Amino acid sequence: MGICIAVCGNFLISISLNIQKYTHVRQSQRGTKPYYTSRLWWCGILLMGLGELGNFAAYGFAPASLIAPLGSVSVIGKTFPLFIKTRHRSKGVLLAGGALALTGTYFLVTFAPHSSPHVTANMVERSLVSWTFLIYFVSLFNLDQVTVQLTHHILQKRPLVK
């Protein structure tokens, strides 16, 4: 059951990314309004949220050692058409990355424990208010803010779409 939910979630994420890319390309060709004003782009965001929610729910029905590798397999599935279509010199990098992802998936599924501990609401609550989680959350938030500022600074110097 969990694997089916994860596969459906990854499928929705793939569709959403294609919808968002289509919207970006269409908006840049028209040069009219920002992408985030498009209803189609927001439809892609909604599908991505549903897909991620499905992935999150899948962890409740199957062990993480089976669910987590599906994400890397879906990345390889998205990269495979790129590998065939492009004539870039980066084919070796795509091939090496795909091989590493598949190898990691094999090792994770083969050697990871297939039983998951029983998690209660009290365990989750204690984890969310622990110092370890709070430090992690604040660090992640700060890193995210730095990344946003750096991206904004870089895109002001060299915009992606002219």
Please tell me the predicted confidence (pLDDT) of residue 161. 58
Quick one: pLDDT band at residue 72, thresholds 50, 70, 90? Answer: confident
Measured distance CA(50)–CA(143) in Å, rounded: 26
Min mean pLDDT across 13-22, 48-57, 74-83, 116-125 is at: 74-83
Burial 111-126, CB ≥16 within 10 A → b, else e: eeeeeeeeeeeeeeee
Mean pLDDT computed over 129-151: 90
Dihedral-angle region of residue 31 (phi above 0 means left; psi in -120 to 50 means alpha; beta otherwise): left
Q: What is the pLDDT of residue 89?
A: 60
**Two tokens, residue 148:** 């946003």
pTM strictly above 0.85? no
Say what percent of the chain tops pLDDT 70: 84
How large a percentage of the chain has pLDDT more than 90? Answer: 15
More confident residue, 32 or 38: 38
How many Å apart are CA 140 and CA 147, to the nearest integer? Answer: 10
Distances (CA, A) of 33 to 30, 36, 148, 162: 8, 8, 22, 14
